[in-house]
Structure 1
């Protein structure tokens, strides 16, 4: 039997898939999961959304955006913070987790940055990997993954089914 190794969790624009992912993972005690879950927060006088991620192994919370000021129109993702997180996740892959959860696949990853090196390292090691993908970036995802990945709807049972199949013994579907 072949098992899936890579999946995009397709969520609606404006919806946050992270609480649902966390709830599904709670149903799997003993599952060794590496990765990040994202949560929006508002701080200070900034009128735009600040993002943090929680490391699923350590529980540590890290900011992944930078405050560029209220007049800024540029991307607020903090490339340095993402690089630091990527280094920690690459080390976590050495411990052989059962599953990797990336906080998102977006423009940074499509362009070769962000957490793309972590995604590729996990795939090379045969670690099933789930990446939430916003509808704005589905084209970028499909260009990147081609037919090597499954697309999973953002529903608890669909995610549960994918995890169960990804963890079954058997040949890897890649």
Structure 2
């Protein structure tokens, strides 16, 4: 079920610009872009929360995926290290639970921006961070994620066609954020007047 279908008034409350997905292809350094953008906002005094996937570093083992909680700075490996030849699922359930908690903590803190690293096959299938996406959007917070070009159909089905798709470039991301802040400040000013 899409976010919009679960709540018929959702579309009237959501500014589609607040829900943004960076579109990427294999080989694009989307993780680096998201982490650099989030860190830049935090350095500029914005409250950024949620989770991002750290780009591989020189000491990163092949297949290693690390998530960073953008509010606490905690880094957790997403995959269990099961050793060579292991055939079972390598996703670490406790890391996923901690990441979920990090996203929900950001929503509860009403941060300026909630980052959720990726919308992927897990969310399309009804799992992953699907509930956390919905909670952030329903709280009226700007949400930034990334979606692989081949999975845009699943993203559009989940959002009910709402939201905005962005090319995975820093200049476009910076422009999106500037417009988001401008529009949200205007809305706050209207509510105060």
**TM bucket, shorter chain:** 0.7 to 0.9
Which contiguous aligned blocks of 4+ residues in structure 1 show a shift greater than 6 angstroms?
none
- The structural deviation recorded for 1:16 is 2.5
**Residue 148 (structure 2) aligns with:** 134
When residues 151 and 75 of structure 1 are mapped into structure 2, their CA distance, relative to the original with a 3 A threshold, is farther
- Based on CA coordinates, which of the two structures has the bigger radius of gyration? 2
- The structural deviation recorded for 1:165 is 2.1
Contact 1:83 1:115 in 2 (8 A): no
Structure-2 separation of matches of 1:109 and 1:13? 19
* Further displaced range: 63-72 or 100-109: 63-72
TM-score of the two chains, using structure 1 as the length reference: 0.82
**Residue 150 (structure 1) aligns with:** 164
For the residue of structure 2 that corresponds to 1:50, the secondary structure is coil
For the residue of structure 2 that corresponds to 1:112, the secondary structure is coil
The answer to which structure, 1 or 2, has the higher relative contact order (CA under 8 A, 6+ apart) is: 1
- The structural deviation recorded for 1:71 is 4.0
Structure 2: runs of 5 or more not aligned: 1-14, 188-193
Q: How does 1:85-104 map to 2 (within 5 A)?
A: 85-104=99-118
Structure 1: runs of 5 or more not aligned: none
- The structural deviation recorded for 1:83 is 2.2
- The structural deviation recorded for 1:141 is 1.4
1:35 correspondence with 2:50: yes
Contact 2:17 2:180 in 1 (8 A): yes
- What is the aligned counterpart of 2:38 among 25, 32, 51? 25
* Further displaced range: 20-29 or 94-103: 20-29
Query: How many residues in Structure 1 have an aligned counterpart in Structure 2?
Result: 166
**Residue 163 (structure 1) aligns with:** 177
**Residue 50 (structure 1) aligns with:** 64
- The structural deviation recorded for 1:88 is 3.0
- The structural deviation recorded for 1:86 is 0.6
Structure-2 separation of matches of 1:137 and 1:148? 15
Contact 1:18 1:38 in 2 (8 A): yes
Contact 2:21 2:147 in 1 (8 A): yes
Structure 1 residues 76-105: Cα deviation after superposition (integer angstroms, max 9, x where no partner): 333442123212321231111010111111
The structure richer in strand per residue is: 1
TM-score of the two chains, using structure 2 as the length reference: 0.75
